[in-house]
Amino acid sequence: MNKERVRTLAGLEEQLGWHFADIALLDNALTHRSFVNENVALACRDNERLEFLGDAVLELMVSDMLIRKFPDHAEGQLSKLRASAVNEQQLAELARRYGIGEHLLLGKGEEGSGGRMKSSLLANAFESVIAAMYLDGGFDRTAVFIGRLFEPLIDDGKLSAVYRDYKTAVQEMSQVLFRDMPRYRVISETGPDHEKRFETSLMIGDRLIATGWGKSKKEAEQQAAKMALEELRKIETILR
């Protein structure tokens, strides 16, 4: 890691409000496998192991917050709330908030295909950064950081409002606007069996309305429906 890279990462540390005792952890968290594959001579490691750890850390800490906030909620309710907090789109938005995409090390192919803007890639990077924080500062310090992001959402009751059955809402609007039913199709399926990533399209008639991403087909469909709902509302406004 050269001096320029260290200087750049220092700017990200300031954005995050976290000074790393071992800056190499942050560098590793931001190294995509496409960069490693194209720079074998550098002997660097990709962030996939950190992504695996960060996913677990996030789920545990958000689960702990939800259990404390909603002592009477059943497991199913808590699972839905957690899914609304740590889904791919939400984590990608957090990554964008901190400018994480600007600091990623990507291969030329991934860079050329707009990798810095991909929600799946940004969400993975955010999870990797969380893992780097956990390894650098421990559980309690990381919990404080995650709490700053998610506790306001939980305390204001916004998390419950975030989760809804977008598919049902899209179906209702589709029938009103087009007298047709939305159709979902898996466009791509990537990643190892234990960590699949699905991309799903939402079609109404022969029109592509939106695409969504997720760690399961169901999550990808909900994300596609969420994006489609925004588009259908625009169409509804025009037709009024």
230 catalytic? Reply is no
Give the number of other Cβ atoms within 10 Å of residue 7's Cβ: 9
Distance CA 159, CA 164 (A): 10
Distance CA 182, CA 50 (A): 37
- The answer to whether the Cα torsion of 206, 209, 213, 218 is positive or negative is negative
Alpha helices (H) in 70-182, listed in sequence order: 75-86, 88-97, 108-112, 119-155, 158-162, 166-178
Name residue 144's amino acid.
V
Please enumerate in sequence order all residues whose Cβ is within 8 A of that of 19, keeping only pairs 6 or more positions apart, or say none: 13
Is residue 231 annotated as a catalytic residue, yes or no? no
The catalytically annotated residue of 51, 88, 110, 127 is 127
Q: Which of 27, 55, 88, 136 is catalytic?
A: 55
Residues serving a catalytic function are 55, 127
